Structure 1
Amino acid sequence: MRHMNMHMHMTGPMWAPTAPPTLPRLLAWHPQPLPVEPLACLLALALYGLAVWRLRRRGDGWPLTRTLLWTAGVLTAAAVTCTGVGGYGMEMFSVHMVQHMVLSMLSPILLLLGAPVTLALRSLPTAGRGRTGPREVLVRLLHSRPARVVSSPFFTLPLFIASLYGLYFTPLFDFLMGSWLGHEWMLAHFLATGLLFFWPILGVDPAPRRPSHLLRLLELFIGMPFHAFFGIAVMMSSTLTVTFFAHPPAAWHLSPLADQNTGGGIAWAFSEIPTLLVLMAVLVQWAGSDRRTAARTDRQADRDHDAELAAYNAYLARLAARDHPA
């Protein structure tokens, strides 16, 4: 019955996979009732490109690596939503888990390393005196109380954990997967949760709070074990945690429990990738911050030395003037 209902949602412009997944089928175009994901990805690339163009037109530079990282983030999101992965993600728990991991842990990191907020602040024009434009609105949002709340670890960590345990170990997952709109909301939730979780940890863009590098690493290492434990729990489960995937197409000869265990293994193993990426990014920033601090200390020491030398020379001059009056 679940399988029949699912195919009812996927009739018409929605493509329902009728054969087991292969690489060409996974990479094929995935039609949908509304092309939400393709349009969102194209808009993200276009807006970022327009902002970079505005900077360069006025003579300012923007690192190419930032642009490449943003593009990679958009492309990874498109790869699991606009292709056959999206269709097979409605049939196989393991493929769905690939979607979840990419959207919540890989795409957000790449997007945030592209520094979109910094780019927006630099490229948006400043409104006239007494007026409020897009740049002023963005600055206010960054300093607002809601922004402080959603960037706090007391919000991001529970949200990150609830998006795993609260979704897959409750009836919420089956409810959302019962409709196209619910499925779209869930995919957007994965991406938003990852962006909120990694935003203050990466510390690339401005944020309401700026924790130390050590605290940022602590937040990372607090959240990742919960993710790994989730993958292990799903991988070792002897029963289905969700019922939506309980009846795959009979011709595929697919065991739902075995496929679920594979999905758990994917969730467990995937946590290593974002942990390594974020760890490297934070350590590089930490080292750069130390170098800048050392350089400022050296410059201050040089200025203090020059001031002491000037004061000593002035003292000698006064002594000479006293001993040899004109």
Structure 2
Amino acid sequence: MMEGSMHQETGTQLVLMLPFLLMIGAYIWAGMITNRHYKTWPVTRYVFWAVGILCAASAVIGPIANRAHGDFTMHMTGHLLLGMLAPLLIAIAAPITLILRTLNVKWSRRISRLLKSRFFQVVSDPVVATLLNVGGLWLLYTTDLYMAMQHSIALHVFVHLHVFLAGYIFTVSMIYIDPTPHQRSYIYRGIVLVFALGGHGILSKYIYAYPPAGIPQEQAEAGGMLMYYGGDAIDIVLITIFCYQWYKASRPRTTSTYQPQYN
């Protein structure tokens, strides 16, 4: 009886994993197909996409996701994977660019118009993206929402979807890898980024001192520390990319390509 239950659970996990595997396969297929007409798609982007998708998958399927229901530390591990690391890796993989060069001109123009719409102008603003991302986490961990999602599948799915999308929107509002019609200045983004990182760090300390309802103190302390230090590790990568892009955009450009020859 137990063996049958284990086989059924394994089958369910494989079915749930299928959409993530299809996304990896579709990305690889799109890259290889478009290589016929455009510059070769970088191999590193395939890697970033695959690892990012697997990070997101591991937060909702598998051992981490299973243990997260009763272990707040595992829940926080899933949060870092789903809301921070996966969005960063996926953003670096430039999926919008790949989509635009995969589709025909008609559909590419439609997507371009959608990206230029008022809705995306508002959502992609760093302040709005920060409120959706960091503000959403404050709402999750300082109210009864965290416990409520443990008892509702629909709410559980919604929260996880929000965590990923908010994390992705925040990431692409700070670093521009894909085409970004509504670009903001580096100073503006930098200021918002500082406040966003501060809000995330303060929340981790708040969780450490004041656990969400129903969470044992020792789990809250471990989860808060993981959120603080793990979040910092991922943020360092985000900050490095941001500063590098700022440096490239602001460095003086040479007016001559002449190079003296010393033969």
TM range (shorter): 0.7 to 0.9
Tell me, yes or no, if the aligned pair for 2:115 and 2:181 is still in contact at 8 Å: yes
Once the two structures are superposed, the pairs formed by residues 212-251 of structure 1 within 5 Å of their partners are 212-237=185-210, 240-243=211-214, 245=215
- Match for 1:176 among 112, 128, 149? 149
Residues 264-304 of structure 1: CA deviation (Å, up to 9, x unaligned): 1111112212221111112222333345x604xx05x99xx
Paired with 1:113 and 1:165, the residues of 2 have a C-alpha distance of: 26
Answer yes or no: is 1:148 the counterpart of 2:121. Answer: yes
Match of 2:253 in 1: 294
- Give the Cα separation in 2 of the matches to 1:30 and 1:213: 48
Q: Secondary structure at the match of 1:294?
A: coil
Q: Distance in 1 between matches of 2:75 and 2:63?
A: 11
1:77–1:287 distance in 2 versus 1, CA, 3 Å: same
Alignment match of 2:184 (pick from 205, 208, 211)? 211
1:270 to 220, 225, 230: 230
Question: Offset at 1:117?
Answer: 0.8
What letter corresponds to residue 64 of structure 2 in structure 1?
V
Q: How far did 1:137 drift?
A: 2.2
Moved more, 39-48 or 147-156: 39-48
Query: Conserved in 2, the CA contact under 8 Å of 1:77 and 1:107?
Result: yes
Cα distance in 2, alignment partners of residues 204 and 271 from structure 1: 21
- State the alpha-carbon separation in 1 of the partners of residues 130 and 38 from structure 2: 41
Q: Paired residue for 1:66, among 45, 50, 75?
A: 45
Change (3 A) 1:35 1:221: farther
Mapping 1:1-326, distance limit 5 Å: 31=12, 35-36=15-16, 38-58=17-37, 60-127=39-106, 133=107, 135-237=108-210, 240-243=211-214, 245=215, 256-290=216-250, 294-295=253-254, 298-299=255-256
CA apart distance, 1:107? 0.7
For 1:23-82, what per-residue CA distance to the aligned partner results, in whole angstroms no more than 9, with x for missing partners? xxxxxx6945x944x233123212211220121123531122222211221121122222
Q: Give the direction of change, closer, same or farther, for the CA distance of 1:66–1:190 in structure 2 (3 Å limit).
A: same
CA–CA distance in 1 between the matches of 2:151 and 2:138? 19
AA partner of residue 18 (structure 2): L
What's the TM-score once normalised by structure 2's chain length?
0.87
The 8 Å contact of residues 76 and 227 in structure 2, kept in 1 or not, is answered as yes
Aligned AA for 1:112? A
CA distance in 2, matches of 1:92, 1:185: 20
Distance in 1 between the 2:190 and 2:242 partners?
8
Identity %: 26
1:199 positional shift: 0.7
Max Rg structure: 1
RMSD of the TM alignment (CA)?
Answer: 2.5
Moved more, 220-229 or 78-87: 78-87
2:123–2:129 contact (8 Å) kept in structure 1? yes
Q: Which runs of 5+ in 1 are unaligned?
A: 1-10, 16-28, 128-132, 246-255, 303-326
Query: Normalization by structure 1: what TM-score?
Result: 0.71
Query: Corresponding residue for 1:24?
Result: none
Deviates more, 1:140-149 or 1:170-179: 170-179
Question: Aligned partners of 2:172, 2:242: CA distance in 1, in Å?
Answer: 12
Residue by residue, what CA displacement relative to the aligned partner does 1:90-144 show, whole Å, maximum 9, x if unpaired? 11111111111211111101100011111111222113xxxxx3x2221111001
Counterpart amino acid of residue 289 in structure 1: A
Amino acid of the structure 2 residue aligned with 1:49 = I
* Cα distance, 1:30–1:266 mapped onto 2, change above 3 Å: farther
Distance 1:51 1:259, change over 3 A: same
